[in-house]
Amino acid sequence: MTKKGDNRKGGDRPTVVIKKEEIIEGGHHGGAWKVAYADFVTAMMAFFLLMWLLNATTEAQRRGLADYFSPSNVMAPTSSGSGKPFGGRTPYSEGQLVSDNGATQVIPGPAQPQPDVEEDDTLSSTATPLHSGDGSDQDSSDSATGDAAAAATPTAAEIAAAGAAAEKKTFEAAAAEIKQAIASDPALATLGQQLSVDMTSEGLRIQIMDADKQAMFATGSADLDDNAKLLLSKIAPVLQKLAEPVSIAGYTDAQPYAAGDRTNWELSADRANATRRFLEQNGLPGTRIASVSGHADRDLLLPGQPLAAVNRRIAIVVLRQAAAPAGPVIVGADAPPAAPGQN
């Protein structure tokens, strides 16, 4: 509204008054708060629903729910989460877990690239067929496959050779162990000359021989001397480690008994049996003993010197289980010089 001023003294210009009216909407401040409130209520409903599910389900069912929303396995024939609620399964898992693999993995295989061959009428008409009507190509292929399989399969001779080689290595290791046991004992420095180890067609042979003025048994008896017991105590642990059977043989020289019914046959057999008893007492199982025999003077070590001390001996043979050519494996020095002596 405009109001003019009066024409009083000093007021020659009119006075202008401007009045603005503010329009206020009655009763409310807009609807934006409704959207926010609805979001809040929805979130609270979802929260309480989650709390209810956590309280109303088992651990296995909760895992099933979690796996239900895991990435699907594109390699599987069905989607993840098939089956009843809270009990989803796949053909690749048991129980209520759904996903076995998690994220999908694609692993390239060893597929060979195939060359692109353009078909040509000329080539088609002149091409040689892959298989003949009589099946000769197939027979050739089968024959080649059979030859390759036969070459890859070891023969009986190859298996036997491999077994013999392994057994030979075992015997060589045993011989080396006996040698080391004798060399490491100062008490056996001289007795080592009366021990011989070699490989024969029968197996690993260990011989304990008499020497001049150094007998392994008392004269004319089967009682082991202390030196013989000392040598056998070093041999027994090595024999115990092996698996092959053992034979024990006794031998004498050609000196006969002066009188009586006792002969070198009984003496050699009794000495072999005394050796067996001592080895068993020192750990060799009795089931490993294959034979105990006496040979008297029928197999002299020095046939040209029938009364030599080295002819009186005990031979312990670890018998072969696989045939193989004999190869010398000598432990200790050569046999002592032959000298006459008594049985």
Read off the pLDDT of each residue in 299-316 and give the average, rounded to a whole number. Answer: 92
The alpha helices in the chain, defined as continuous H runs, are 32-56, 59-68, 121-126, 136-152, 156-183, 226-241, 264-281
Query: What confidence tens digit (pLDDT) does each residue in 235-264 have?
Result: 999 999 999 999 999 999 998 887 778 899
Give the pTM.
0.53
Read off the pLDDT of each residue in 172-190 and give the average, rounded to a whole number. Answer: 87
Are the beta carbons of 51 and 72 closer than 8 angstroms?
no
217/93 same-domain check: no
What number of CA atoms fall less than 13 Å from residue 257's CA on the CB side? 13
Cα(47)–Cα(43) distance, integer angstroms: 6
- Number of structural domains, the chain? 2
188/264 same-domain check: yes
180/257 same-domain check: yes
Domain assignment present for residue 23? The answer is no
88's tokens: 């989803």
Domain assignment present for residue 337? The answer is no
Residue 11 has pLDDT above 70, yes or no: no
Confidence label for 16 from pLDDT (cuts 50, 70 and 90)? confident
197/280 same-domain check: yes
223/293 same-domain check: yes
Q: What is the domain range of residue 263?
A: 160-319
Cα(336)–Cα(193) distance, integer angstroms: 7
- Percent of the chain having pLDDT more than 70? 63
Domain assignment present for residue 114? The answer is no
Domain assignment present for residue 70? The answer is yes
284-321-195 Cα angle (round to 5): 50
Domain assignment present for residue 50? The answer is yes
CATH number for the domain that contains residue 305: 3.30.1330.60
93/173 same-domain check: no
Q: Considering only CA atoms, which of 229, 234, 207 is closest in space to residue 217?
A: 229
Cα(180)–Cα(276) distance, integer angstroms: 23
59/177 same-domain check: no
Domain assignment present for residue 132? The answer is no
